[in-house]
Structure 1
Amino acid sequence: MLTLTFMLALVSVAASIDMLNVCMDSKHHKVAPGPEGNLYQQCSPWKDNACCTADTSEHTHNDNSYLYNFNWSHCRVMTDACKKHFIQDTCFYECSPHLGPWIQTVVNPTWRRERFVDVPLCQEDCVTWWNDCKDDFTCKENWHKGWNWTSGHNECPAKAECRKFKEVFPTAQSMCEKIWSKSYKYTTYTKTSGKCIQMWFPQGQNPNRKVAEYYLNKAPSPGIPASLFSFSVVLLMLLI
């Protein structure tokens, strides 16, 4: 008969493997990652293994899409150079299957039960994002909360002043870390380091699984998602 220690070790290995290829429990994510025949434009790099559907990928490119009714142009019309980064950010959020080490349970869930926190973003991705958006306008530092939703989509709260990104976010680090409530962590790692997550990469060349594996092995994860805990319990019961 298998010893309890050995069974727990097997469960730990199984959970670790899943954490390298898992979808968050959120509004539009698939239950499990898998190939998609055709993902739209900037989401296409994930088509071989994605947590998003083709329909979701198409709507990530639209202002006020049904996904979240979020309007990037809440102050002035956002430039195409800046908008492409927010589209890529949305594709990354919806499609990436390699964020297991950074997935955390949402304390007071409304439209999602899990989110990612402190994903170590490559310096090039963060700096380029900030440079392309620094002269665009926004009225808020944290885009996760505090909007006026009475019209059905996000509008600036009363008395909020529209200012250039570079005034609201003086540095690339401040923007990447604050705009989505610490979803991302600014790093000085480059894309060749193997220690940072890339938001941009050629189709079929997703480097982020190896990065996730590096962090999973380096230190304890922030917490095993509920879906993986359930999987571990089932596996343990089968082994007993």
Structure 2
Amino acid sequence: MWVALVLLLALPSGTLSLDKLNMCMDGKHHKVQPGPEGQLYSQCAPWRDNACCTTNTSTEAHNDTSYLYKFNWNHCGIMSSKCKKHFIQDTCFYECSPHLGPWIQEADENWRRERILNVPLCKEDCHGWWEDCKNDYTCKSNWHKGWDWSSGINKCPAGSMCRKWTEVYPTPKSMCEQIWSKSYLYTTHSNTSERCMQLWFTGPNPNRKVAEYYLNNAQQQQSFAMTTLLFLAISSFSVMMH
């Protein structure tokens, strides 16, 4: 009887997990459901077979101060093209990826109802991003908040100074984890490990297997916790009966 109860309790999470492997977050420009988008633009093209972004969103992701968020990459001088490439890939990953379910959380923000938190990034992504931006400049470590938006686009807040990238972010880890309020988690996993998400790729999307791995781990931990609680409940009941 108790085994049957445990199985029944586990069913809802198993059903939910299927959605978490192929879903779109409730964001400002995300589609309701992922699906094919054959005309995704340039660096968003890898997601064309199954995407949470539209063609228009993918095009705007490549524009400076686009209508998506009115975000100005050039807030401390013109950002280098090799650095900007990573921010475009980051935007495509955020807008287009259908495999972020295990890391989607509720967000108390006026422009979105959900966000990602602690998505494990491959070390090549963090190191390559940091390396290509290390000679650029910025005035803030957390780009999610604290900007001066009085002109309609983000500007450095009063009292801040433009500093070299490596002063603001001494390591790839500090950049990846701080720049978007811990949306990303730095890992030492390589992009062949199937244990970390890739911001950009060629060929079939490798990130579904990664999401599946972390989701299965979370379910196993949940099942173990439920079994432990059930065992404790049975033990307590037995003590009471005797």
TM-score by length of 2: 0.86
CA distance in 2, matches of 1:114, 1:69: 19
Instruction: Check conservation: 2:13, 2:219, Cα contact below 8 A.
Output: no
Query: Which residue of structure 1 aligns with residue 187 of structure 2?
Result: 187
Query: Which residue of structure 2 aligns with residue 154 of structure 1?
Result: 154
Query: Which residue of structure 2 aligns with residue 201 of structure 1?
Result: 201
Query: Which residue of structure 2 aligns with residue 13 of structure 1?
Result: 14
Instruction: Check conservation: 2:61, 2:91, Cα contact below 8 A.
Output: yes
Equivalent residue runs for 1:23-172 within 5 Å: 23-106=24-107, 108-172=108-172
CA distance in 2, matches of 1:153, 1:170: 27
Shift of 1:207: 0.5
Query: Which residue of structure 2 aligns with residue 214 of structure 1?
Result: 213
For residue 210 of structure 1, what is the amino acid of its counterpart? K
CA distance in 2, matches of 1:46, 1:158: 39
Larger RCO (CA under 8 A, 6+ residues apart): 1
CA distance in 1, matches of 2:127, 2:77: 22
For residue 124 of structure 2, what is the amino acid of its counterpart? E
Shift of 1:8: 4.9
Output one character per residue of 1:41-70: Cα deviation in whole Å (capped at 9) or x when no partner: 000000000000000000000111110000
Instruction: Check conservation: 2:119, 2:184, Cα contact below 8 A.
Output: yes
CA distance in 2, matches of 1:46, 1:26: 17
Q: Highest Rg: 1 or 2?
A: 2
Structure 2 gap ranges (5+): 221-242
Shift of 1:219: 2.1
Shift of 1:182: 0.3
Residue 11 to residue 198, structure 1, CA distance change in 2 (3 Å): same
Secondary structure, aligned partner of 2:115: strand
Shift of 1:5: 6.6
Instruction: Check conservation: 2:173, 2:186, Cα contact below 8 A.
Output: yes
Shift of 1:14: 1.8
Shift of 1:12: 2.3
Shift of 1:11: 2.8
Query: Which residue of structure 1 aligns with residue 23 of structure 2?
Result: 22
CA distance in 1, matches of 2:14, 2:72: 42
CA distance in 2, matches of 1:116, 1:179: 13
Output one character per residue of 1:71-114: Cα deviation in whole Å (capped at 9) or x when no partner: 111011000000000000000000000001100001x2210000
For residue 126 of structure 1, what is the amino acid of its counterpart? C
Residue 5 to residue 188, structure 1, CA distance change in 2 (3 Å): closer
TM-score by length of 1: 0.87
Secondary structure, aligned partner of 1:105: strand
Shift of 1:6: 6.1
Aligned residues: 217
For residue 129 of structure 2, what is the amino acid of its counterpart? W
Residue 155 to residue 220, structure 1, CA distance change in 2 (3 Å): farther
Secondary structure, aligned partner of 2:185: strand
Shift of 1:220: 5.0
For residue 193 of structure 1, what is the amino acid of its counterpart? S
Structure 1 gap ranges (5+): 222-240
